[in-house]
Amino acid sequence: MEALILNELPKTVPFAEHVGVALTQANATGGAGSLDQRREIENHIKSVHAGALFTLAETTAAGELTALLFNKITKLIIVVSSAEVAFMKKARGKIEAVSEVRATLDEVNASLENSGTAEFDAKVNLTDEDDDTVAEITFRFHARNLT
């Protein structure tokens, strides 16, 4: 299952593929991804653009969510409803992202069964090659049943 998610998820979001996001872990206990700095994703100060960092973080969290909800993922619509972003330092070089969904499968399933929707958070920490945190992003996801 993890290999399928790692290979296929970025293809379902062409922008993530365009930015160069590489998923390296996607299971029910965590997600991880990386992004190599290159000219096409730099900003005016020659660091990784905030939009590219956001895309890396969102895709990493989506990998974990896909694994967590794998048995019903084709029966759900999941979108980001909000995000809180904190930038700590310029992002340069290879950027690594690690996600943590802050809900259990049982909690999400119970909410989906009771109301047809679920709200839950995922926190993503982004670090540079020196293992310094360059950004932290907490996403609020909204899921709803297709039927």
Domain CATH code at residue 51:
3.10.129.10
In this structure, of 11-15, 17-21, 65-69, 124-128, the range with the lowest mean pLDDT score is 11-15
- Helical residues (DSSP H) of 13-120, grouped into ranges: 14-19, 50-68, 105-115
Closest residue by Cα to residue 64 from 124, 110, 109: 124
In-domain check, residue 67: yes
Structural domain span for residue 70:
2-75+88-103+123-137
Into how many domains does the chain fold?
1
Residue with tokens 């679920």: 118
Q: Return the SS3 of 14.
A: helix
In-domain check, residue 131: yes
d(CA 68, CA 84) in angstroms, rounded, equals 22
Q: How far is CA 110 from the centre of its chain?
A: 23
In-domain check, residue 142: no
d(CA 51, CA 4) in angstroms, rounded, equals 26
In-domain check, residue 115: no
pLDDT at 7 over 90: no
Q: How confident is the model at residue 9 (pLDDT cuts 50, 70, 90)?
A: confident
Mean pLDDT score, 34-54: 97
Mean pLDDT score, 10-24: 91
Give the tens place of pLDDT for each residue, 49-70: 999 999 999 999 999 999 999 9
In-domain check, residue 114: no
d(CA 75, CA 108) in angstroms, rounded, equals 14
